[in-house]
Structures are given as C-alpha cells and as structure tokens.
Amino acid sequence: MACVANAHGVAVASSETDAVALLSAAEPARLEFEKAFAVPAAHYAIILAGKYGIAATTEAAVQQAGFGATLAWLSQEAKIAQAEASVRRIVEEKLIAAGLGDKEREAAIASAIAQVRQQMADANSALDAAAVPHELGHK
C-alpha cells in the first residue's frame, strides 16, 4: 500500500501511482467547493477499498485524525470482479432462456467478460478522474 498526501488530503492505494492519481482527481472538487462556498473544504481521505468497502473502524479512525470527508474507492480489481459477476449473471440468464447448452454459454460468457475487462481497462483512468471529484462532492 502507498499513501500520498498534500495540504488538503490523503490518498491510500495499492501503488504510489494510483494514490497520486486519486489525490490529483480530488483537487478540482476541492477548488470548486471553495470557489462556490467561499470557505475552506474539509480535509479528505480517499482510501482504496476492496469489494466490501472499508471497515467502519478505519473510517472512524480517519475521521478522528481530522479528515472531514472520507471516500472509499474501489480498486480496479474490485470493479472488474463486480462487473464480471454482473455480466455472468445477465448473459447466463439470457442464454439459458435462449436454450443454449453449457459449453456454448460458457464460451459466450467468457467472450463477454473479456470485452468488459478490456473496456474497463481502457476507461478506468478517465472514469476515476471524473468520478472522484463527483463523489467527494457528496461528502
């Protein structure tokens, strides 16, 4: 795990590169908030989380440390796992209804999952850059 901080917040992620990207993505939201409300934004913590989020004790400790906004952010692996489970469920339901056999269903599911993985890999950085400031705005 890597932790990167600036004067306004901290990001904890699986690599320094990811932590820097998350921290950088948060800055536009902080600046926009301060411009709109003419008050300093709360210090924030963005914590890379597994598929079940972050522990309540971790979030409480971060808040006690003075971070007014805590954002649990899913890792790329967790996002992919969620997408794969969803694609598998949806595609399998449709293919069962269409009467396809096990082998055909598994091949189609594998193909759909491969497409989703590629799309997510291509879009991940841009999506994080747009979504992090948006989600911090809710905090």
- In DSSP notation, 12-53 reads EESSHHHHHHHHHHHHHHHHHHHHHHSSPPPPEEEEEEBTTB
Read off the pLDDT of each residue in 82-102 and give the average, rounded to a whole number: 90
For position 112, what pLDDT does the model report? 92
The model's pTM: 0.68
- Encode pLDDT of 15-34 as tens digits: 888 889 889 989 888 898 89
Query: Mean pLDDT, the chain, as a whole number?
Result: 85
Domain housing 60:
2-137
Total number of domains in the chain: 1
DSSP 11: E
For position 35, what pLDDT does the model report? 92
**Does the structure show a pLDDT above 90 at 7?**
yes
